[in-house]
Structure formats: structure tokens, C-alpha cells
């Protein structure tokens, strides 16, 4: 029932109820105090309560939380306006479903025009709202996609004027959105591409056909960008075209890469042809493929018009002795994927000439369904193989020379570490090869000698060339060797030093002989001077004014003879150490030394040449005096010569005694003759000791006491 206290309805109650209950929308009527005085059947059914409960139902209980604040504010404002107002929001129905309702509230007035309440109608607009929200969501997604995609989107009208562009298109084309909105696609297209582009555009507008093409845009800064455009016509629901949409991709990098690849392939082609290299690509099913022109040339075959050749054609050209090697390597490659690098001989088809080829083959597999390919490259290495053969022969010759040379051959690194030596070096220094290789040159030299070698090495580093020097080395056991070394740096292809090569010759004996010869010359010079001095002294003493000429001559000749004997002995002994006994024997021989009138008693000591000469002259003078005035002037006379080494705690000494017996009584002479002075002074000075002559009545005695002469044993 409609509340009787309410203001009258626009029509009769029964008629209004009938109309309202028949309506598929919710209808309600409110009084001036905002309380509902009528609700229709749809209203009650939506709430799922009784009619009475519906009249007082608090709608705020079923409004969606997200809409409640907004709708309450709009409802209060609408009622306060006393004018028609609309509300839209979500409400939960009796089944617990959220439904979108759109309500219209219209003010009610009495006959005097006074406001007496509202009459409202609510339509369920859930389906429309859902469609609207879905459309908005799709539009938002499309907008987000268009704005965020890496592709550019541009829309133009049928004349080519831009009507819509996204940010990415602006970025690709190099123009701002505002600038593009006043331009046509023809204006930013490269002039050289318009002749292809415009006909495609016109045909799409005329026939509705889509197309894809690549062209260039001219950017605002003058730069050029390559794009790939997928173009389609946009139509209205009536089918009438009203615009053209383009999806644009920046393919500049790809085009540049393709151009770089093209140039690279062209460069590679030129390089391979210039280098005489041949390439091939073979289908693994048919074993046929494309050959480069150089491959035909290498094999001596005429070039095929379609550049095609077969695996068997290649194999037929391989030398029979190498065919198994080549075929096995190739088949393992295209059957098992094992790449190879081989060298083999071929027999050219045109002239039968034998050539060496080096080939590299590999199989290219793809992740997709594409068939694998067998590809490779070959080039002629005949000259290199011949050079290698010549090098092997040269190395063999060098190895023979290296092994058999008498000279010493050595190679080292730049830090003086030995890398190779020939057998002559091993024999000379006495170490096994394992104890030589890897050691440094300094291990075989004294520091001063290594310094000489390093000075020469540094000169080569600074100025190049070779150096020659003489150095001393230490062989095993400390034995000294003298080598003459000629060395030179070995350089790499860039001219940088990488090693040292040295040839040496053993100069040890030659240097010793040279030193000995120098010593002999010096010694000879010294001895000649000494000898001349001795002869001069002998002559001066022999030919004094108070000596008769005949006697002087005899004395002089005797003294020269004694000197000659001593020289003969020294010459036989190469002027080295001589026997003291032999010197005495030779000096006594002219005076009957072999007649038994002399007794020699003493060890056979060795003495130096200078000492030997002084001793020989002294013995000669003593013997001459004994023959003339002493023991040997009578048949029964005898001379005893005794000497010995004496060791009394100090340095060893030599004592020698000349004692005469059986001669006439001896008297002390009134003056000292040449012989006496020579013995007492010359011999004493030579021996560095004392010499005393005693004229005893029973016979002359000469006593020598001196340090053991140098070289005496």
C-alpha cells in the first residue's frame, strides 16, 4: 500500500502501482522528509526483503565501498538542489552480486509548485558498464602498448597527412609530435625512395591492400634512418577507408650491418682470389655444391657456368697416394662434424702437374630444420712445401756441420742462457750436455771475463753487427780455456733480437805457445845480453896486459868452451830447469873429468839456467886452476866435489865443497886473479849466499853456502 499520509501521486494509486510493478526498473517515491512512501516490485526483488522492510531499507549497507563516499556526497548535493540529479554506482543485490545501477531522481511538486519529495528510477546498467570498462581497459592497454612498444605507430589520412603518432615513431623519425602533425609522410621520406613508396601508398588507398617495405626517413637534424614499415588501410564500420596505419621499425643498424657484411664479403672474396684461396659449400645429401672460381683454377678444371662442383670431382683430382687421407678427413667432417686441416697433393686436370694444397673443412649445423652444410677453404702451398723440403735439407746439412765441426757452436737466449751446443763444446769443457743446456754463460767464466763478454753483447744490442773477442773460460775441474769468439744476434721478422749465435775456436794452446814464444824471445834477448856481458868480462880478464898472449888466448878459449857446454846443455833442456850434476860433469870434461880424478857426491838437483851458467864458469875456473897450479898438476892429485841440501828448521839451503888433495903445497897468492874474483863474487851474487876460497897447504878448498836455488828439487 502507498502511504496515505504522502502527497498525492501523479496518477491514481492502482494505475501507478500497475505501471510501476510492470516496469523492469526499480521505482521509488520519497516524501519531503526523505522517507520512501512507495517502492515497486523490482525494487523489492533487488533487495530481497519485504515491502515494508524495503520502505525503510538503508541503501548505504549495500553500496560498494569504493563508491560509497562519492555517491553519498552526490546524493546530498542532488537533493539539496531540488532539481533532477543522477547517480551511478555498484550495489549488492539479494544474490550477493555487485550490479551497476544508474538512478535518476526527479523532484515532486504540489499544485502550488511546492517541493514535496522525489520520484526515482534505477536502471541496471551492469552489462553496459562492464562493456564500457572493458573498452576502457582495452584502450588503456592499447595506449600503453603503443606508447611503450619498440615499434613506431603512425596514422595518416588518405593524402598522407599525419594524424596520430606515438613517442617511438617520433624518436625514430627524428621529429617532434607537434612538427609531424603539420607534415606529410612524403615530406620526411628520402627523395630517392619516393618513386617506390608513393605507388604502393596510392594502391593501398585505392584497393585496400596492405604492404611492407623498407625506406629512408630524413630526420630534422639531416640524418638518415632506415625503417621497415608494415602498412594497412583503416576503414569505418561502413567499409569506407579514412586513413592508413603504419607500424615502423628502425632497421638502420641492420642495414648498416648488412652493408658492412656485404663489404666484408666482397673484401673476403677479393682477398681469397688475390691469395689464390678457393672456397666450397656442399649439400650433404647430394654431395654437390657451389665452388668459388679459384677452386676450379686450383684443380686445373674449366669453370662451371653455375659454379657447381661435386665431391667426387674433387676427389678424382687428389693424388692416389693421398686420396685415402683426404677422403677420410672429409667424410668424418660431414658425417660426424669433426673439422679438419690437412695437406695433400693433387694432379691438375689440365696438365697433370702435381701441386700441394692445404684444406680446412667444417660442418655447419643449425638449430632449426635447415640442412647442415659442409664448407671449407683450400689454397696452394706448393711453394711452401718445396721451401720446407729445401729447409729440411739445409737443416740436415747444418746439423751435420754442427755435429762434426771442430769449432765450437753455441746458441743462447738474450739473457745468456745456453740453448744448444755442438759436440766439440761438450768435449772441450768436459760437462755432459745436460749440465750445459739451460745454464748461463757466466757459469763458465770468471766475473772479469763475463764482463768482457757482456760489453760485446751490449755493443751488438746497440749497434748490431758481430763482435770478435778473446775470453777465458773454466772447464770442468777449473781448467782454463782460451777461446776466440765471433758472435752475432739472431733477429725475428720485425728485426728484433731474439737470440745469440756464437762460433768459437780453442786458442788455449796457441795462446800458450804465443806466450812461451814471447818468453823465449825475451829470455833469448836477455841471455844474449848476459852472454855477451859474460864474454866481454871473460875477454877483459883473459887479455890483461900482464898476461902473455898465448896464455891469455888459451884461458879465453877454455872459458868460452865452459860457457858453450853450459849453453849446449841448457839448449837441450829448452832453457828450462837443468841437472846440477850434469852442469858439473860438462864443466869438468875438458879437464879430465872422466879419468877418475874427480869425485862427485850429492843429490841430482835441478837449477835455473842463469844459476847453471854461473856454476859452470865457476867449476871451469876451479878446474883450470887445479890443472895449472893445484892437485891436478900431479898425477896423484884428486878433487872431491860434494853438495847437499840442508834443513835445520828454516828454509832449505845448499852447501857445496870443492876440495883438492895430492897436489903441491899451496901458498896464499899475493893477488886475486879473475877466476878467484868471479867465483867469490859472481857465484855468491848469483846464489844469494857466500862463497869462500881457502888456500890450505894440503890443497885448495872452495865452500859454498847459499839458499837452495829456485827450482832445485
Per-residue confidence (pLDDT) for residue 619, from 0 to 100 = 86
Identify the H or E element spanning 241.
Answer: strand 241-250
Q: List all residues 6 or more positions away from 250 whose beta carbon is below 8 Å from its beta carbon.
A: 152, 172, 225, 226, 227
pLDDT digits (tens, 9 = 90+) for 283-324: 888 889 899 888 898 899 999 999 899 999 999 999 999 999
Q: Distance from CA of residue 45 to its chain's centroid?
A: 91
User: Above 60 in pLDDT, residue 573?
Assistant: no
Integer Cα distance of 602 and 557 in angstroms: 29
In the numeric block, which cell numbers belong to residue 262?
656485404
449-459 pLDDT, tens digit each: 889 989 988 98
Three cell numbers written together for 305: 657456368
Q: 360 near 376, Cβ under 8 Å? A: yes
Q: Which residues pair with 109 in a beta bridge?
A: 115
Average pLDDT over residues 380-406: 78
pLDDT band for 439, please (50, 70, 90 cuts): very high
**Residue/partner pairs of 202-209 with CB below 8 Å, 24 or more apart:** 204/231, 204/232, 204/233, 204/244, 205/158, 205/233, 205/241, 205/244, 208/233, 208/235, 208/241, 209/233
The pLDDT of 498-507, averaged and rounded, is 86
Q: DSSP assignment of 421-462, as one string?
A: E-HHHHHHH---GGGTTTSBGGGGS-HHHHHHHHHHHHHHHH
Lowest mean pLDDT among 37-51, 393-407, 605-619: 393-407
The predicted pLDDT at position 85 comes to 94
DSSP 665: P
pLDDT tens figures, 511-570:
777 776 776 676 567 556 655 655 555 555 556 556 677 765 665 666 566 666 656 655
On whether the pTM is more than 0.75, the answer is: no
What integer pLDDT is reported at residue 4 of this predicted model?
39
Task: List, for residues 93-117, the tens digit of each pLDDT value.
Answer: 999 999 999 999 999 998 898 999 9
Residue 352: exposed, middle, or buried by beta-carbon count in 10 A (0-12, 13-18, 19+)?
exposed
Q: Which of 141-145, 443-447, 676-680 is least confident? A: 141-145
What are the structural domains, with CATH classification, of the chain? 13-131 (3.30.450.20), 149-255 (3.30.450.20), 275-386 (3.30.450.20), 405-506 (3.30.450.20), 566-707 (3.30.565.10)
Strands 598-601 and 638-646: parallel
User: What is the average per-residue pLDDT within 475-479?
Assistant: 87
Q: Residue 273: its pLDDT value, please?
A: 67
Task: For residue 156, count other CB atoms closer than 10 A to its CB.
Answer: 23
Q: Which residue has the cell 711452401?
A: 384
Distance separating alpha carbons of residues 573 and 234, to the nearest angstrom: 130
Q: What pLDDT was estimated at residue 523? A: 59
> Who has greater pLDDT, 542 or 166?
166
163 SS3 class: strand
Residue 425 has pLDDT above 80, yes or no: yes
Residue 55's pLDDT is 92
Q: How far is CA 474 from the centre of its chain?
A: 37
How high is the mean pLDDT of the chain? 84
Residue 275 predicted with pLDDT over 50: yes
Element spanning 137, H or E: helix 126-148
Q: What angle do CA 656, 659, 665 make, to 5 degrees?
A: 155
Residue 706 has pLDDT above 90, yes or no: no
What is the average per-residue pLDDT within 6-32? Answer: 76
Residue 209 is placed in which grid cell?
591492400
Q: Distance (Å, rounded) from C-alpha 654 to C-alpha 33?
A: 166
Look at residue 18 in the predicted model and tell me its pLDDT.
81
Amino acid at each position: 500500500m502507498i502511504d496515505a499520509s504522502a502527497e498525492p501521486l501523479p496518477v491514481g494509486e492502482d494505475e501507478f502501482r500497475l505501471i510501476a510493478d510492470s516496469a523492469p526498473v526499480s521505482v521509488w517515491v520519497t516524501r519531503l522528509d526523505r522517507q520512501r512512501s512507495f517502492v515497486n516490485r523490482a525494487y523489492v526483488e533487488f533487495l530481497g526483503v519485504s515491502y515494508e522492510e524495503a520502505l525503510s531499507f538503508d541503501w548505504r549497507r549495500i553500496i560498494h565501498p569504493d563508491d560509497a563516499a562519492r555517491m553519498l556526497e552526490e546524493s546530498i548535493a542532488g537533493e539539496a538542489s531540488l532539481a533532477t540529479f543522477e547517480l551511478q554506482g555498484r550495489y549488492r543485490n539479494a544474490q550477493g552480486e555487485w550490479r551497476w545501477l544508474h538512478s535518476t531522481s526527479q523532484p515532486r511538486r504540489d499544485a502550488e509548485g511546492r517541493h514535496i519529495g522525489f520520484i526515482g528510477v534505477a536502471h541496471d546498467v551492469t552489462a553496459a558498464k562492464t562493456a564500457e570498462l572493458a573498452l576502457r581497459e582495452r584502450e588503456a592497454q592499447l595506449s600503453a602498448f603503443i606508447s611503450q612498444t619498440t615499434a613506431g605507430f603512425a596514422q595518416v589520412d588518405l593524402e598522407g597527412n599525419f594524424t596520430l603518432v606515438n613517442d617511438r615513431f617520433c624518436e625514430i623519425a627524428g621529429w617532434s609530435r607537434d612538427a609531424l602533425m603539420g607534415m606529410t609522410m612524403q615530406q620526411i621520406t628520402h627523395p630517392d625512395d619516393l618513386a617506390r613508396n608513393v605507388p604502393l601508398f596510392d594502391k593501398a588507398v585505392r584497393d585496400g591492400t596492405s604492404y611492407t617495405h623498407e625506406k629512408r626517413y630524413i630526420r630534422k637534424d639531416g640524418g638518415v634512418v632506415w625503417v621497415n614499415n608494415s602498412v594497412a588501410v583503416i576503414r569505418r564500420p561502413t567499409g569506407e577507408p579514412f586513413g592508413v596505419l603504419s607500424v615502423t621499425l628502425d632497421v638502420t643498424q641492420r642495414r648498416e650491418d648488412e652493408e658492412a657484411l656485404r663489404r666484408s664479403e666482397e673484401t673476403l672474396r677479393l682477398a681469397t682470389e688475390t691469395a689464390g684461396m678457393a672456397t666450397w659449400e656442399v649439400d650433404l645429401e647430394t654431395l654437390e655444391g657451389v665452388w668459388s672460381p679459384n677452386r676450379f683454377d686450383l684443380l686445373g678444371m674449366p669453370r662451371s657456368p653455375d659454379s657447381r662442383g661435386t665431391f667426387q670431382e674433387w676427389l678424382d683430382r687428389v693424388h692416389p697416394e693421398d686420396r685415402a687421407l683426404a677422403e677420410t678427413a672429409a667424410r668424418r667432417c660431414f658425417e660426424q662434424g669433426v673439422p679438419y686441416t690437412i695437406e695433400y697433393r693433387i694432379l691438375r686436370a689440365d696438365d697433370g702437374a702435381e701441386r700441394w694444397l692445404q684444406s680446412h673443412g667444417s660442418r655447419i649445423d643449425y638449430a632449426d630444420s635447415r640442412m647442415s652444410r659442409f664448407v671449407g677453404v683450400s689454397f696452394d702451398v706448393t711453394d711452401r712445401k718445396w721451401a720446407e723440403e729445401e729447409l729440411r735439407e739445409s737443416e740436415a746439412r747444418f746439423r751435420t756441420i754442427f755435429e762434426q765441426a771442430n769449432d765450437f757452436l753455441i746458441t743462447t737466449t738474450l739473457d745468456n742462457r745456453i740453448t744448444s751446443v755442438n759436440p766439440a763444446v761438450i768435449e772441450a769443457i768436459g760437462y755432459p750436455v745436460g749440465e750445459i743446456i739451460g745454464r748461463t754463460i757466466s757459469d763458465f767464466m770468471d766475473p772479469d771475463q763475463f764482463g768482457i763478454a757482456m760489453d760485446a753483447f751490449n755493443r751488438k744490442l746497440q749497434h748490431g753487427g758481430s763482435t770478435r773477442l778473446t775470453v777465458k773460460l773454466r772447464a770442468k775441474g777449473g781448467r782454463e780455456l782460451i777461446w776466440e769468439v765471433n758472435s752475432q744476434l739472431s733477429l725475428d721478422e720485425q728485426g728484433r733480437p731474439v737470440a745469440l749465435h756464437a762460433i768459437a775456436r780453442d786458442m788455449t794452446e796457441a795462446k800458450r805457445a804465443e806466450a812461451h814464444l814471447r818468453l823465449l824471445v825475451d829470455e833469448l834477448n836477455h841471455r844474449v845480453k848476459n852472454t855477451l856481458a859474460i864474454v866481454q868480462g871473460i875477454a877483459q880478464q883473459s887479455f890483461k896486459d900482464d898476461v902473455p898472449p898465448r896464455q891469455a888466448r888459451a884461458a879465453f878459449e877454455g872459458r868460452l868452451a865452459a860457457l858453450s857446454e853450459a849453453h849446449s846443455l841448457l839448449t837441450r833442456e829448452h832453457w828450462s830447469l837443468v841437472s846440477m850434476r850434469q852442469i858439473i860433469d860438462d864443466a869438468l870434461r875438458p879437464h879430465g873429468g872422466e879419468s877418475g880424478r874427480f869425485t862427485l857426491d850429492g843429490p841430482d838437483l835441478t837449477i835455473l839456467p842463469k844459476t847453471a851458467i854461473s856454476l859452470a864458469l865457476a867449476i871451469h875456473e876451479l878446474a883450470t886452476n887445479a890443472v895449472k897450479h893445484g892437485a891436478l898438476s900431479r898425477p896423484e892429485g884428486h878433487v872431491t866435489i860434494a853438495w847437499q841440501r840442508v834443513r835445520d828448521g828454516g828454509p832449505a839451503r845448499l852447501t857445496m865443497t870443492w876440495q883438492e888433495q895430492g897436489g903441491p903445497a899451496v901458498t896464499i897468492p899475493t893477488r886475486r886473479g879473475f877466476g878467484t874474483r868471479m867465483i867469490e863474487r859472481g857465484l855468491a851474487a848469483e846464489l844469494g849466499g857466500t862463497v869462500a876460497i881457502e888456500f890450505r897447504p894440503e890443497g885448495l878448498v872452495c865452500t859454498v853456502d847459499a839458499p837452495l836455488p829456485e827450482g832445485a828439487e
